Every structure is written in structure tokens, then in C-alpha cells.
Amino acid sequence: MPRVKRSTNRRDSRRKTLALAKGYFLTKSKLYRAAQEAVEKALRYAYVGRRRKKRDFRRLFILRINAGCRQNGLSYSKFIGGLKKAGLDLNRKILADLAANEPAAFASLVEKAKLAQA
């Protein structure tokens, strides 16, 4: 079999993996095989986490909106339904911010939703 000269590819690849594993515990930051496994797992978690973050923030927004609605005597679902009927197209991020920081403005939105429901 002919000899294969790998140049710097192998070393570069290993250095890159070990650089990604910098700061990991014990052998995971020192030995290539352990580092490779740890980095692959970390990258999988990172990929999943980027998608989870969107779900988690939506849940947080809904919690905040629901709390603001309950203070004004309306449930979350009826509030969202009322806004749709009233033709107000605000996303949940904006609504959550209003519920947390501008209670008066949010209360006026709740009143519009109540009127649209009736």
C-alpha cells in the first residue's frame, strides 16, 4: 500500500477540536478522543438549544400576558381572541413588554379586546 502523507490536516483538525474543548473538565480538554466526544455532544446541545430558546421565550411572553390579563379581569385566550376580532395585530413579545412595563396601555388593549368580544 502506498504511503499517505497527511500534511498538517490531521494535526489542524485535532487542534481545532481541542480548542473547542478548552475549559472542559479533566481529560475532556486534554485528550483528543474524550475532547471529540464532548465537543460533538456540546454542539448537539447547542443546536437543540437554539430551537428551544424560541419556545421558552414564547412561553415566557404568554405567562406575562396572562398575568396582565388576569389583573384586568380577562383570560389570556379571550384576550387574544378579542384582539384578533378587533383587528389588532400585535405579537406576543410586544404584548408581554406592555404588560410588564406599561400597565395603563395594556389595560386599554384589554378593554378593546373585551369590547370586540361582546
The DSSP-derived string for 46-102 is HHHHHHHHHHHHHHHHHHHHHHHHHHTT--HHHHHHHHHHHT----HHHHHHHHHH-
The set of cell numbers assigned to 41 is 455532544
pLDDT band at 1 (very low <50, low <70, confident <90, very high): confident
For residue 6, pLDDT over 80 is answered with no
pLDDT band at 2 (very low <50, low <70, confident <90, very high): confident
What does the pLDDT read at residue 94?
97
Residue 36 lies in a domain: yes
Residue 1 lies in a domain: no
For residue 16, what are the domain limits? 9-117
Q: Are 100 and 64 in contact (CB under 8 A)?
A: yes
Residue 77 lies in a domain: yes
Closest by alpha carbon to 117, among 68, 84, 70, 89?
84
Q: How many domains does the chain have?
A: 1
Residue 28 lies in a domain: yes
Kindly report the CATH number assigned to the domain that includes residue 32: 1.10.1900.20
